[in-house]
Chain A
Amino acid sequence: MGILLVGMNHRTAPLQMRERLSRVCGEGVEADLPKEISTVCSIQEVLTMVTCNRIEVVAWSDDHDGAVQEIKDIFQRRGNFLPGELDGCLYAYDNLDAVRHLFRVAASLDSMVIGEPQILGQVKEAYRQAVGHGTTGVILNKVLHHAFRVAKRVRTETAVAGHAVSVSYAAVELAKKIFGSLEDKTVMLVGAGEMSELAARNLIKHGVQHIVVANRTFDRAVQLAAKFQGTAAEFDRLAEKLGEADIIISSTGAPGYLVTADMVRGALRRRKNRLLFLVDIAVPRDIDPAAGEIDNVFLYNIDDLQDIADENRQLREREAERADAIVEEEVAKHDAWFHTLSVVPTIVALREQAEAIIKGEIERSSPWLQALSEVERQRVEILAKSIVNKILHGPITGLKDESRQHGTMAYVAALRTLFRLDE
């Protein structure tokens, strides 16, 4: 009996392969993957997760090798792969390795961009679907909830998810370092390119409400401004419009400097020296670098932003090492729990719990028990004990019998959960 995990991700399989498999395994495919896998007789519980970067199958099975082979066969059949074509692309883990991999996936340590936030949501969604299909049970429920906790711990105790790793988010983060809240800020886009549109979108997501677009062809400026419910500005009046914005993002194809240091000085005067953040993502540059020397002006070009994003990426990788230590700790906890899943200690724990309940209830009733004679009191105690024993008799003998015929752990786990023996 054990947990197993079969899957492929962006490291083990090329995009084309992942596409082919996810097309026939994802949601909306007629015979759903978890349903099909759960019909394999050696598999008791299963959960499947399909995203653009990975396909993972987590299962609880009493025949590891057989189950892994069956899952591989299902993949091969569904994707019409040649025999052996999938061999190098799939990985298979068992027990603690499987749990470790699942924890790392949920904590976004296995992602292409470490710490990206979507993956946990995707794991949760996969779990929700599996529960919907009724293919999970006591073991996977426990393991998945544990994985969610691990992900949360990693997120709060390390900086794997901290700080921008893309150019446009690096710009947003800098804007926040300068202005604090972005809510009453105005952003001016010089040039209506794709990059500036993306940056503007991110800024809007972080509270910016007013967008001004200046573009050489005015129509395009009007179009883009309409997208953000902003206003369009005429390109010839750029110099005077500069002073109205707190953040200026420039991305035109102009060959020389569009915005000179003098223009920035003038803008600063008009805005009474309020801080000004200039982002120059054009190549060749649009804004004279000398503008960055002016007090209260902060000028970043595409390379500056890229450097910051790279540095943050390295930081995330360093943090990932700390996160892995947390994962190891949690895998050990899982292991400890797993070891409690044997029959005898569970029966002992169940009996002890019952004894404790009887003792507690009798103590609680002692005021009126005092009124009874010694003999009557003993009879009440015997009565209580025999009721409890009768109730426990079924589960205990059932557990012993079932464990002789089938695997024990699922039953033990169920019993421990139902009677709350681990709390």
Chain B
Amino acid sequence: MYLLVFDASLAVYLMSTIFFMIALFVRRVRPAAIATWILTLAFVSHGGSFIVRYGETGYSPLLAINEALSFFAWVATGIYLLLQTITKTRLLGAFVAPIVTIAMFISLQTTPGHIVIPPALRGSLVIVHVALTVAGEALFFLASAAGAMYLLQDGFLKKRKAVSFARLFPSLRDLDRINHVCVLWGFPLLTFGVIAGSLWARTVWGSHWQWDPRQIWTLIVWMTYAVLLHQRLAIGWKGHKAAVYSLAAFVILLASLIVVRGFLPSAHTFV
């Protein structure tokens, strides 16, 4: 049942992505509006899949890597849709929907048949830790998507040519604002997520900090975003610089996830 709902959501996400691509290439608003509605539908059915998963397994469906990825996609979609209603930056979805679809696809590929939750993950603080961190990362992803679009649009405008490809792109100011808001909200989420994690680490491992590769990398990511936020709020980084930095920060975040999971032995890797 879970897989059925999940597959259906994935298909709807894919459809939304296709409509966004059409909007990008025919340069009309209509397909983007349709894509946004489809994305909303995907968001709702995907939300339903978590409930189904919980009903079937009896544990909060965030703990396994596939579930965390799926949750990441869901939060990113939800926040994007929320931002979309406020700023009407429809075409940003053309950057968000494909990534969300890919995340969903990887999630599907890594869904195990049956898993046993290790004792170290049995506790409500773990759920808080995962939910907050993943939500923070989803916001950072949106920030970097807005940043990427900003850099494209910025490049077009600097070239001083009428670029028909960019006709429907949102204004620089809207993209910059989305970039800022996402980092501004993502940062406290990640912070509290990490705090929740370290509190839990003390109960299971005996201390807040173990110099685990995962923990070190997370600290690096956290500091990167702290610097970005500081530069923006105190020094007045805006536009181009902020967009470049937020993209770089997300690359570090992505690298930390891949490197730790793939190549480094970590006590933090569970399922």
Contact = CB atoms under 8 A, between A and B. Distances in A.
Interface of A: 163, 174, 176-180, 272-275, 292, 295-296, 298, 300, 304, 307-308, 311-312, 315
Contact of B239 (A177, A275, A300): A275
Nearest to A170: B162
A59 to B, nearest CB: 39
B175 to A, nearest CB: 9
A180 B170 contact: yes
Given A272-B236, A295-B241, A296-B240, A178 B157 contact: yes
A272 B176 CA distance: 14
Contacts of A315: 162, 164
Given A178-B157, A304-B160, A308-B162, A273 B238 contact: yes
A177 B162 contact: no
Contact of B238 (A177, A178, A272): A272
Contacts of A295: 239-241
Contacts of A180: 170-174
B157 A296 contact: no
Contact of B237 (A176, A178, A273): A273
Contacts of A274: 238
Contacts of A292: 158, 160
A179 B172 contact: yes
Interface residues of B, number: 22
28 contacts: A163-B167, A176-B171, A177-B157, A177-B169, A178-B157, A178-B171, A178-B172, A179-B171, A179-B173, A180-B170, A180-B171, A180-B174, A272-B236, A273-B239, A275-B173, A295-B239, A295-B240, A295-B241, A296-B238, A296-B240, A296-B241, A298-B158, A307-B160, A308-B160, A308-B162, A311-B162, A312-B162, A315-B164
A34 B59 CA distance: 82
Interface in B191-250: 236-241
A290 B169 CA distance: 26
B153 A177 contact: yes
B114 interface: no
Given A180-B173, A273-B236, A312-B162, 4 more contacts: A177-B166, A275-B238, A308-B162, A315-B164
B73 to A, nearest CB: 28
B161 A308 contact: yes
Nearest to A180: B171
Contact of A177 (B172, B176, B237): B172
Interface centre among B153, B161, B162, B169 (most CB of A within 10 A): B162
Contacts of B239: 273, 275, 295-296
Given A180-B173, A180-B174, A275-B172, A307 B240 contact: no
Nearest to A305: B160
Contact of A174 (B157, B167, B237): B157
A296 B153 CA distance: 12
Given A178-B173, A308-B162, A298 B241 contact: no
Nearest to B176: A275
